[in-house]
A = this chain, B = another copy of it.
Amino acid sequence: MRDERRPTLTDVARRAGVSKSLVSIVMRDEPGAGAETRRRVLEAAEALGYQPDSRARLLRSGRSRLLGVVFGLQHPFHADLVTGLYTAARETGYELALSAVTPERDEPEAITSLLRDRCEALILLGPRSTAAVLARLAARRPVVVLARSVRDAAVDVVRTADARGLHLAVDHLAGLGHRAIAHIDGGRAPGAADRRRGYRDAMRRHGLSDRMTILPGGLTESDGAAAARTLLTDRPTAVTVFNDRCATGVLDVLTRAGVGVPGEISVVGYDDSSLARLAHVDLTTVAQDVPSMTRLAVARATDRLEGAPVARREVVVPPRLVVRGTTGPAYPG
């Protein structure tokens, strides 16, 4: 009824009048088959609606050519990264297996499911696991951590120079004449510590140590909104925010309160997520170089798998400032 057995190599072989080995060769597009036969085999495969069984294929070849990716479904920036990983993986001939972390599905669970599927390497987006857990994992197969730093010799890291990112932001604002520049931070989120440090460094470098203000924030819009309300009472002329999502919340509260942006307060986000690029948000932001990061992450994973020599355990990608409409000259005075 429902399940007339799905066609296999043997079926195609029979129809084309050749051996299954030959069909296998043709399907993999390997040398070793004549042009005419090749055509006939492909025709037969097409007619039967044959699709190779990747399970059997991988079982036999011993390799899965599968990169496991753990990401947070609720993070728009993770969506951007996964998008980049897909295209990076395509170029290398590896496939991606996605495993999401949701409120009801934690990181360990997401990881185990990938391991059962025989992923050869793991790419983790901003994982919450401790360095020890990650190290244990890395002992069994290559692990690449994306967008977070990990102090462990066994795990590879690809991340943005987050401290540098905040230098860019503060330099930009200081250049516009701002002095009272606040920072809304990301708490324990991956990358938050580095950005906080970058902010402090840059302020000191500009001789603004006494104007430093760090407000507790987070990674969501509501975290930003909450922080912005604090901002209204003791008002700086500019603020750098942990990420774009959080910055959106800040913008929203400011706009509603009638505070002009960038007239009265300039705002700088982080990530250059699709959010920031929206015409009506038009957020000045520190861009993470998603294409490079994802390409590097995939390259690192495959290099480890293929035993290629790996130069540095940690690759740090420079950020780039994207100036848009939410920053402008400081109020005179």
Contacts and interface: CB of A to CB of B under 8 A. Distances in A.
The number of times this chain is found in the oligomer is 2
B278 A249 contact: yes
Interface in A112-146: 112-113, 115-118, 140-142
Chain A, interface size category, equals 35 or more
A74 interface: yes
A118 B74 contact: no
Contact of A95 (B76, B113, B256): B113
Interface in A259-301: 274-275, 278-281
Contacts of A102: 82-83, 86-87
A99 interface: yes
Given A53-B118, A98-B100, A256-B280, A79 B86 contact: no
Contacts of A52: 116
Contact of A280 (B73, B99, B115, B221): B221
A274 B74 contact: yes
A233 interface: no
Interface stretch (A14-22, A55-63, A236-244, A312-320): A55-63
A307 interface: yes
A182 to B, nearest CB: 18
Interface in A67-126: 73-74, 76, 79, 82-83, 86-87, 90, 95, 97-100, 102-105, 112-113, 115-118
Given A225-B278, A249-B280, A280-B249, A105 B117 contact: no
Interface string A221-257: 1100100000000000000000000000100110110
| Among A100, A140, A307: residue with most chain B CB under 10 A | A100
Interface of A: 1-2, 6, 49, 51-56, 58-59, 64, 73-74, 76, 79, 82-83, 86-87, 90, 95, 97-100, 102-105, 112-113, 115-118, 140-142, 220-222, 225, 249, 252-253, 255-256, 274-275, 278-281, 304, 307
Chain A to chain B: the 3 pairs with minimum beta-carbon distance, closest first: A225-B280, A98-B98, A83-B102
13 contacts: A1-B307, A6-B140, A53-B59, A53-B116, A54-B116, A55-B58, A55-B59, A82-B100, A83-B102, A86-B104, A249-B278, A252-B252, A252-B255
Given A74-B274, A86-B104, 16 more contacts: A2-B141, A51-B112, A51-B115, A52-B116, A55-B64, A73-B83, A74-B76, A83-B103, A86-B100, A87-B104, A87-B105, A97-B97, A98-B100, A222-B278, A222-B279, A225-B278
